[in-house]
Amino acid sequence: MARPYTLHRQLAASGIDYVAALNAEQYMAVASPPGKALVIAGAGSGKTRTLTYRVAWLLDHGVEPRQVLLLTFTNKAAREMVGRVRDLIARDTSDLWAGTFHSVGSRILRRHAEDIGYTRAFSILDRDDQKSMLSKVVAACAIDTKERRFPKPDVLASIFSLMENSGTSLEEIIAVGYERFYDWIEQIEQVRLGYIEKKRASNSMDFDDLLVLTVRLFEARPDVLDIYQKRFRHILVDEYQDTNLVQGRMIDLLAGESNSLMAVGDDAQSIYSWRGADMAHILGFTRRYAGSQVFTIDTNYRSVPELLELSNAAIRANQGRFEKDLRSSRAAGGVKPALVALADPRTQAAFVVQRMLELHEEGIALSEMAVLYRAHFHSLELQMELTVRKIPFVLTSGLRFFEQAHIKDVSAFLRFVVNRRDEESFLRMVMLLPGCGPVAADKLWREWLDTGWAKRDDLPVRFSEVLLAFKKVPKKAHKHWQQLCYTLDELAPNGFFAKPSAMIYSVVEGVYKEYMEAGFENYESRRSDLDQLSQYGDGFEDIVEFLSQLSLMGSVDGEPGAGDDAANADKVTLSSIHQAKGLEWQVVFLIWLVDGQFPNGRILEADDQPKLEEERRLFYVAITRAKDHLYLTYPLNNPKSYTGDVMCNASRFLNDFPPELVEEWDVGNSDPWGDDAWNDDEPF
C-alpha cells in the first residue's frame, strides 16, 4: 500500500494563495510567464479580478512597482485596481503607473514637451476650450457661410478626432458619416490646419494630441522611447478590444520586442468602432505579436445558465470572433428568457412597467431592473409611462427626452405661435439663426413688442407680413429669417393652429433640419428623436394640450423620477446598451427589437457586414447584463405621422438562436391606457 504524503503549497510573500483565490482559467493567466499574452475574458468572468491578481503576482515575484504600467479606459478603473492590489499585498505602489491612455500620455509629454516644440506648461483643452478655439480659427479663415451653414465647432472637433484616432482621411470620413458637408471639404481642411497651428502657437493640446504626440515623440526620439521601454517591463492593458489605431501603436512601441504585455478584453464586446476602436487589434493579436499566448476565461459568475445559453447561441452567428462559450457558475434559474411581441410602442411600454411592478411585488428592488435600448429615442414611451405612474427612474443614456436641446428648440416655435407673449421661446427660436446672439435676439424681441401683436392674442396674425418688415435682423441671418417667418405662417395657417405633428414637421423641414446638420455631431439620432416627438404629437388634436403635456413630462426637482438624487435610491435604470456595458441587473428588458431599429436601418441598407456583426455584439452585450430575468420585446406596429402605421419585422437577431431557448409570451389586447386603468393621483 502506498504511503500517503501531502505536498503543501508555498504561499507568496504577501500570503496570497493564488490557487485558492482564483479559478483554474484565471490562475493560468495570472501565473503565466513573462511574454506577450492575450486574455479573452468573457462577460461576467472576473476580468478585473484577473488583472488585479496579475499585478499582485508580479509584485510578489520580484517585479518593482515602477516597472509596471497599467493602461485603462477610465481613471476610476485604474484607481479601483490599484486599490485592490494595495489591499492584497499591503505595500507601497506609488511608483506604479496606472491610468488612462490619455493620462499616461500627458505624464510623458510633460517630461519631454520641448522635444516636440511645446513647453512643459502646455495647456490641455477641454471640449469648451476646443470649441472656442475652433470658432476663432473659422472666423480667421474668412469662410463665407451666408448662403449655407458651415459645420459648428462641436461637429468639426468630432471629425478631426475621428481622423486622428482611426487614421482615416478627411474625404473618407465625410463620405461615410458627414455627406452633408461634402462641398465644404476644402474649407474644413483649411480649418483643420489652422487649428493645428493655433494649438501650437498657444502651447495647447487637445485630448487627441495627448495620444498622437506621445506616439510621434516615441517615433521621432528612439532615445526617449528607450527610457520608457526600460522602465515599463510589464505592461497590462484593460478593455483591449476598444483600443484605436493610436492606442494600439502606443502599446506596440512601449512593449517593444522584449517587454511583457498582457492585454485583457473580449472580442464579443467590441462595440465602439464609431469612435475609432479597431477590433483587428484583438483578433490579430497573435499575428501582431509572434509567439504570444492566448488564455480564455469563460466561467461566468453573473448570469443563470438559461441566459448564457441564449447569449452563446446569439453570438455564434458572427464570423469574426474567438471561439468560446460562457459557462455559468450558478445553478439553473428555471426561467427562460421571455420573447414578447406587443401591439405598438405604447403597449410595449405598458407591458414593461406592469411587469416591473409585478417583479417588485415579488421582492426585486427597482434598482435591480434596467431597460436597455439601441438608441436614446427608443425610451420616449417608457419615460412617459414611468412619469405618469410616478415610478422613479434614472436615465443614463442622456437627458430626459423632453429636456433635450433639440426637443426644446422645436417646441419653442410651437410655444411662441400659441403664446405670442412668450419671450423665452421667442429668444430661443431666433438665436438659432446665424449671427443672432443674445443681444440681437433681444433687439428683435423689442421690435416684436413694438408691433403690438404680442398683446393681441385674440386675433389671427400672418407672421410673415409683420416680421419681414423688421429692421434689426442681422445681415448674416436675412435669408434664414425669411424662412423662419414663412415657417411660422405654416404653424397657424388662416388663423387656425395646425395639428402638433404637422407643426413639428414644418419646423424641422423649414428651419431646424439645416441647423441640426451643421450644429450636432449626432444629427441622425436627434432627427430620430424629432420623428418620435412628431409621432407622439399625432395623438393630439389640440396644440395647447400637447404643449401642456410636454411641460408636465419635463422632470421637476424633488419629484419622483427626477434626477439621480441619491446613489442608492431605489430607481429603475433606463440606458442605451453602449452606456450599460460593464453593468449588471437582476432583471433586464431589451426593447425595440425591430429590424431598422436594432439592428440599425442604415447598416441594413448599406449591407455592411462588419457593422452588422458589431450590432450583433451589441445585442450580446445587452443580453449578458442580466443576472436572472431577461425580456426581449418588440412592437408589431409603429405609428408614423403622415404615412400611417408601419408594420414592424422582428429583429433578425431573434433568428440567430433556437426558438426553444426562449419562452414566447402572448400579451392580451386590453387597453392599459384607458382612463380608468389607474389613479394618476396615487404615487408609486
What positions carry a catalytic annotation?
A: 47-48, 238-239, 269, 625
Q: On the CB side of 527, how many CA atoms lie within 13 Å of its CA?
A: 16
Of 651, 22, 111, nearest to 373 (Cα)?
Answer: 651
Q: Dihedral, CA atoms, 322, 328, 333, 339, nearest 10 degrees?
A: -10
- The answer to whether 14 and 56 are in contact (CB under 8 A) is yes
Q: Give kind and range of the element (H or E) at residue 82.
A: helix 75-89
DSSP E strands: which ranges in 150-249? 204-205, 234-237
Residue found by looking up cell 440599425 in the block:
600
d(CA 137, CA 606): 35
Q: What is the length of the chain?
A: 684
57 backbone φψ class: left, alpha, beta (φ>0; ψ -120 to 50): alpha
Q: In Å, how far from its chain's centre is CA 397?
A: 7
- The answer to whether 40 and 279 are in contact (CB under 8 A) is no
CA-atom Rg of the chain in angstroms: 28
Q: Give kind and range of the element (H or E) at residue 230.
A: helix 222-231
- The answer to whether 348 and 663 are in contact (CB under 8 A) is no
Question: Hey, what's the cell of 237?
Answer: 492593458
Report residue 289: phi and psi, to 5°.
Answer: -125, 95
- The answer to whether 381 and 346 are in contact (CB under 8 A) is yes
Q: In Å, how far from its chain's centre is CA 491?
A: 34
d(CA 374, CA 599): 8
Distances (CA, A) of 60 to 15, 71, 233, 471: 9, 20, 15, 78
Q: Give kind and range of the element (H or E) at residue 674.
A: none
How many Cβ atoms are within 10 Å of 442's Cβ, its own excluded? 16
Q: On the CB side of 650, how many CA atoms lie within 13 Å of its CA?
A: 13
- DSSP for 211-223, please give it: HHHHHHHHHH-HH
What secondary structure, in 3-state letters, does 307-368 show?
HHHHHHHHHCCCCCCCCCCCEECCCCCCCCCEEEEECCHHHHHHHHHHHHHHHHHCCCCHHH
Residue 154's contacts (CB-CB under 8 Å, 6 or more residues apart) are 127, 131, 519, 520, 521
- The answer to whether 299 and 329 are in contact (CB under 8 A) is yes
Question: Hey, what's the cell of 421?
Answer: 407673449
